[in-house]
Amino acid sequence: MEPVTTGSHLRTADQPVKAIASVGGWPCGRATVADLAAGVVTALFSVPESMAYAAIAGFGPFPGLCAGIVPTMVGSLLSRTVLMVTTLTSAIALTSHGVLLQARLSPADPSDLAALTLMVGFAMALFALLRVGAVLRAVSPAAMTGFSAGIAVQIVAGALGEATGYRTEHHNRLVRIAAWAGHLGAWSGAAATVAAATVAVWAVAHLSRHTHKLALLIALVAVSAAVWAGGLPVPLALSLGSVPSALPTLSMPAWSVMPRLLPGACAVALVALAQAASISPSRPETPGVSDEARVSDEARGASSDGGRDVLAQAAANVAGAFFQALPVGGSLSRTGVSVAAGARSRWAGVLSGALMALAVYAMGGVTGHIPLPAIGALLIIVGGKLIWGRASQIRAVRVLGPADSMVIVLTFLATTEFSLPQALLVGLALSLARRLTAARRRRPELATTVAGMSPPR
């Protein structure tokens, strides 16, 4: 049977860590009621989040929704980290859009998108053979914290246009936010009102323990209904592309453009795998990681051998390429939702993908009437939660000294200025430099200690 991972079964962090995913293998046994409940919550949570991530990167909502169906099911079936949910993330969406534009391809062309997703899968498979996952795990907690905070700023900066109706073309995300804050008079009153109402409804739903898991969905549905009833003049999701009430159909990649997409696909794969690596268990010697974080990692059923997880994500992308999906990777936020909802085995992820398909089939046409300011507000909430979720890690790393604090700041600034693959390389370089510096400092101390232990002649 699959291992059970409820809170009552967790060991304390000082006990020997034995990865819950060590059983691996094809799922056996039957899905439990807890898995079904977790699948329902994860699927409902994924609908607005997938649409929002696709929207912020300039894609239509349907490929974002499709990324939570077939790829999620395949990833959950094959991954060694049994509770990891493989789906679209904000970083993957943003990087994918930049790659298509750099290759002079259209993000709205399904065949070009399928080609990119397929190439990302091939790149991940190659990285698994080259054991690139071990290199990505060398990115320090400080660098990953700065990287995640920078992604959150990118999410917020990209959502401000939809939320307020005011857009600025500044490249640097911090400058873009400053320009947005300095032009309050240029905001659209109707859009800002809808965005503020969305945040208010979410806050009320989030405060209740009965509804906090579905707060995003509740806010989206309530505000969309109010906009429809009041006839407010705000742009709708239909402007991004139609969402048919249908299951994903078979799509064929544009084979001729694949050579042009190879470098970009490697960049998307690196970003996706770096994010997924944060779902794997933290090494006991990793500085700045709390005992609670290690226990949380163990609850996700992670394995220290990430090669099979990389191959699972590769297979998810290869399968998703033929079913209209954007590239995917292990999602920390969606995994956290599933675990918090009581997931006990990989069947929770499989069921979430199947239920996501049912939701798209039943409500696809309705999603086109969601107001864009509401989606923008949800993205701002997601970005804010991502920053808030990293607050404890920032505090943990800061106590280690100014060097790690500098790594956080520099990686954060790189993420707000450069592309995500470039920022990731900056974080990796800073992590390696930090380790080399620490190693050089330890050598004289070790030599002094050994000399002091030598017997007198």
Please check whether residue 89 lies inside any domain of the structure. Answer: yes
Give the residue among 1, 6, 4, 43 at the shortest CA–CA distance from 342.
Answer: 6
pLDDT of residue 451: 54
Give the domain extent around 248. Answer: 32-443
pLDDT of residue 91: 83
Beta bridge partners of 329: 87
Please check whether residue 278 lies inside any domain of the structure. Answer: yes
Please check whether residue 15 lies inside any domain of the structure. Answer: no
Find the DSSP H helices in 252-290.
Answer: 258-277
Please check whether residue 388 lies inside any domain of the structure. Answer: yes
- What is residue 279's DSSP assignment? T
CA–CA dist 399, 358 (Å, integer): 48
Give the residue among 106, 31, 59 at the shortest CA–CA distance from 239.
Answer: 59
User: Is the distance from CB of 330 to CB of 180 less than 8 angstroms?
Assistant: no
Give the residue among 320, 316, 310 at the shortest CA–CA distance from 276.
Answer: 310
At 41, list the tokens: 């919550």
pTM above 0.75, yes or no: no
pLDDT of residue 300: 43
pLDDT of residue 334: 82
How far is CA 249 from each of CA 110, 186, 322, rounded to the nearest angstrom?
11, 42, 8
Please check whether residue 145 lies inside any domain of the structure. Answer: yes
pLDDT of residue 453: 54
**If phi over 0 gives left and psi between -120 and 50 gives alpha, with beta otherwise, what is residue 24?**
left
pLDDT of residue 94: 84
pLDDT of residue 23: 39
pLDDT of residue 123: 94
pLDDT of residue 398: 67
**Which portions of the chain are predicted below pLDDT 50?**
1-25, 281-305, 446
CA–CA dist 51, 159 (Å, integer): 12
Q: What are phi and psi of 86, to 5 degrees?
A: -100, 115
pLDDT of residue 278: 65
CA–CA dist 203, 223 (Å, integer): 13
pLDDT of residue 255: 93
Q: How many residues does the chain have?
A: 457
At 183, list the tokens: 């032009």
pLDDT of residue 54: 86
Please check whether residue 66 lies inside any domain of the structure. Answer: yes
Return the amino acid letter for 4: V
DSSP codes, 127-166? HHHHTHHHHHTTS-HHHHHHHHHHHHHHHHHHHHHHHHS-
Please check whether residue 10 lies inside any domain of the structure. Answer: no
DSSP codes, 62-83? HHHHHTTTHHHHHHHHH-SSTT
- Number of domains comprising the chain: 1
